[in-house]
Structures are given as structure tokens and as C-alpha cells.
Amino acid sequence: MLASQLQAQHQLRWLSHTDPRVNMLAAGVFALVAVLSHQLSALVLLLVIALLLNGLAGTRWRSVGKRLLAFETFMLLLVLLLPFSISGQTWFSLWGMTASIEGAKQALAIILRGNAVVLTLLALLAIREPINLGYGAAALGFSPKLIHLFMMTVRYIQVLGEEFARLRNAMKARAFAPASNWHTWRSYGWMMGMLLVRSMERAQRIVDAMRCRGFDGSLYLNQQLQWRRKDSIALALLLLLSLLPLGLQLFLEH
């Protein structure tokens, strides 16, 4: 029973066992298709494919929901203002401002396109270890400096988060209560400044430690990626799925 469950879980997460270049190339093509798609039917199909990829990747829907909630909060202001910013056929009027149907359609297209891209990135890239993505970027010929920056950011973003939490706890220990006043904004400013100073000091210590260990700015890989037949098959299937919305769009236009 347990063995069958593990095997099923392994089959669902086959996207995390392919060559990282497969995930990166498929994610890039999918994002390009999302930019080129402008019909609502194609964008809806794009979103359905993104949900399907998350199902195949075995992602946790609760985690996906939390990340999408943060994304929707960021997009809310743009989506609400867009119908009032584009001229066209009147949809409704509010406080003397007219919302157009064309603006509402464009806002809906932005919502579908943005959610499809975010879901695809969660399905293809978020399931991979950052070190594997670094290997994949190196194999694809990305700049070594860019790869170093990515790897160091992934490694130390949690350290900065822990430092931020310590500063917040120190403020709470001093009975700090946030409010909408000058004292609160000044306190937050001091906290962010202290976080920046400590980050710079830690970065300098890290650079000194790396130089003591002979770091010369070169990127050395512990293992070489090997492209296999199943990687070609996986990439072909993912590219076929990503190109379906463009095919539907061309079919509807003709």
C-alpha cells in the first residue's frame, strides 16, 4: 500500500526529476506564449494548462492559493483602475467616471495572463532545488555573475529574513506598537536602515571568507548535467502544451 502511494507520488512529480533545462526552457516558452496570446479563449486555455501542470507537478494547492492571494492583491489596483482608463463602449458609470467594456476585457486578459504565468512558474521552477536551477542556467550559457547573484540570493534571503525577525522582536520587547504616526514611520525607517547596515557587514564577512578559501570569481560545478531521451520527450510534450493556445488563437482568427 505504502509502496503504491510512493510510486504514484513519484509519477505525479516527474517534472522535478527531469533535466532542469527542460523546466527552464518550457517556462520561458510558456511566458512568451502568454505575451503573444491576446484572445480571451486562448488565455483561458493557457490558464487551464497551467493548472494541469501544477497537478502533474504534485504542488500543494494550499501553498499555491497563498501565493496567488499575494499576487492578486498586487494586481487588484491595476485591474480596478484599468476599465476607467481605456476609452470605448460604456459599461457603467461611477461617481462621474465611465468604465468601458474594452477596459474590462483588457483587465480580464491581464488577470488570466498573469495567473497563468505565475502558476506555470510554480509548476516548473518552484518544485526544483535552487542549486539545480543554477546548474541549468550554467548549462544554458547564462552569465556566471548572474548565476552567482542568484545562488547567493537564494542562500542568504532566509538569513536576512531571520535578521529582520530579530529586529522586529527587539522592537516588540521595547513595547513598540505600530500606528499611523510619525514615530512609527521613523522607527520603521531606523529598522530598515539597521537591516541594510547589518546586511552589508554580513556580505563583507562572506566575501572575506570566500577569498580565504580561494574563491576567484569562477563558477565550478560539482556535477555535469546529462541530457537524456526522457528529457527530450518531456520538453517536446511541454512545448506542445504551451503552443496549444497560440494554435487556438490562430484558428479563431481565421
Is the pLDDT at 4 greater than 50? The verdict is no
Contact 113, 46 (CB under 8 A): yes
| Residue 126 identity | A
How large is the average pLDDT for residues 100-108?
Answer: 77
Grid cell of 56 as nine digits: 502533474
User: In this structure, are residues 62 and 171 in contact, taking their beta carbons and an 8 Å threshold?
Assistant: no
Sign of CA dihedral 173, 176, 177, 178: negative
Encode pLDDT of 205-249 as tens digits: 888 888 888 877 776 766 677 888 888 888 888 888 888 888 888
Least confident among 60-74, 194-208, 223-237: 60-74
Residue 62 CB: number of other CB atoms within 10 A? 7
pLDDT digits (tens, 9 = 90+) for 22-47: 888 888 888 888 888 888 888 888 88
Give the whole-angstrom CA distance, residue 87 versus residue 102.
7
pLDDT tier for residue 3 given thresholds of 50, 70 and 90:
very low
pLDDT given at position 12: 44
Is 248 exposed, middle or buried (CB count within 10 Å of its CB: 0-12, 13-18, 19+)? middle
pLDDT of residue 13: 60
DSSP per-residue letters across the chain:
-HHHHHHHHHHHTGGGSS-HHHHHHHHHHHHHHHHH--SHHHHHHHHHHHHHHHHHHT--HHHHHHHHHHHHHHHHHHHHHHHHHS-SSEEEEETTEEEEHHHHHHHHHHHHHHHHHHHHHHHHTTTS-HHHHHHHHHHTT--HHHHHHHHHHHHHHHHHHHHHHHHHHHHHHTT----SSHHHHHHHHHHHHHHHHHHHHHHHHHHHHHHHTT--S----SS-----HHHHHHHHHHHHHHHHHHHHHHHHH-
Domain ranges across the chain: 2-128+226-253, 142-212
State residue 1's pLDDT score: 37
